[in-house]
Amino acid sequence: MNRGERRALRHYRLRGYRLLEANARAGGYELDLVLRRGRRLLVVEVKEKGGPGFGHPLEMIDAEKIRRVTLAARAWLAARPKLAGLEVELEAAGVQGRRVERVPLL
């Protein structure tokens, strides 16, 4: 797990989420964080940039990245039928320094 993923994980844990898996391989792609809080399952794509001179980290999320995260999330869930009844959401977390900005992917 890289620094940005650790920072994002801390952000989510402070908000009551529990880590189910990090850097999970599914459907030929990787899911950075798979989290759960109650009946909500959250799949998070984490992007980090070193500083403001490099642009915003969420600029790296494009239609192809969303497609890949969606495919991987479906494959990951298909392998875990016990989680089938949960509300599933996909989100991107842009990390810049100590700041974590969250946006829905769909």
Domains (ranges, CATH) in the chain?
Answer: 3-104 (3.40.1350.10)
Answer whether residue 55 shows pLDDT above 90. no
Residue 19 banded pLDDT, cuts 50, 70, 90: very high
Res 54: pLDDT: 72
Nearest to 103 by CA among 29, 44, 16, 32: 44
Please indicate, yes or no, whether the overall pTM of this predicted structure exceeds 0.85: yes
Whole-angstrom distance, CA of residue 11 vs CA of residue 105: 18
Q: Is the pLDDT of residue 50 over 80?
A: no
Phi-psi sector, 100: left (phi>0), alpha (psi -120 to 50), beta: beta
Reported as a single tens digit per residue, the pLDDT across 61-77 is: 999 999 999 999 999 99
So what's the pLDDT on residue 52?
Answer: 65
